[in-house]
Structure formats: structure tokens, C-alpha cells
Amino acid sequence: MIKSKLQDILLQSLRIPTGWTVDWNQFYDVEPDADFLIEGLPNGDVWELFLQDLLQLKYSSSNLILDLSWIPEADPNGTYQLELILNEDWVNPLITFQSRNKNEIVNKINRLLLEVVSGKISI
């Protein structure tokens, strides 16, 4: 088991192109199945880092939101859910992607951000 302090846990590194703004970021560089004990969290439970509201990025020129969640929140059996939302229409996301693999999610985020900026995702 790896022991760490909450303040030593880094946010996940992302490649965010010009035009995107970060509204919310609690997406930590922690694998879902990592065996961590984290000082500063209730009972040291790493699952407290896996929240419904992990990351939200906005692309104002197209009224797009890229939203990352862990669903169900703090559940070891959960999964990441990534959604691309247009005009705050949360019921009908343009793109939805789920995975338990953090690297898959990071790659998908980086790819979607670039595709929006380059116009490959038409809106």
C-alpha cells in the first residue's frame, strides 16, 4: 500500500489548447485501482478523490462544455464518464465516453480538445 499526503497528490496533466478554460478541476493523477492510503481524506480512502464533478472545461466560442465525472461517485465499481455538451443540453450530449482506464480518458480528453479547436468536430 502506498501512503501519501493529500497535498502531495498532483492533478492530472492535460494538454489544453488555447480557447478552452478550466472551470473546475479535481481530476487527480491517481489510477482507479491504485492501493493508496491518503492522509487528509476520511479514513485515508482514495475513493474520496473519485467525484461526480472531476473536471469541467469550456470552449466559449462554440458554447461547448467538456465534463468528466466518476459515476457513481466514490464507488470502487464505478467508471469515468466523459461528455461533450453543446448549449448546456445535458440530456443530449454530443459525445459520451466511459472507461475505467485513466490513460484512455486522458488521451480522449486531449484528442477531443484538439478536434474542437481544429474544427474536426463540427457544431
| Three-state SS at 114 | helix
pTM: 0.93
d(C-alpha 3, C-alpha 5), whole Å = 7
Average pLDDT rounded to a whole number, residues 90-118: 98
What phi, psi does 43 have (nearest 5°)? 60, 15
Hey, what amino acid is at 11? Answer: L
Q: Does 123 have pLDDT greater than 80?
A: no
Hey, what amino acid is at 21? Answer: T
Q: Environment class of residue 69 by beta-carbon count within 10 Å: exposed (0-12), middle (13-18) or buried (19+)?
A: buried
Higher pLDDT, 106 or 5: 106
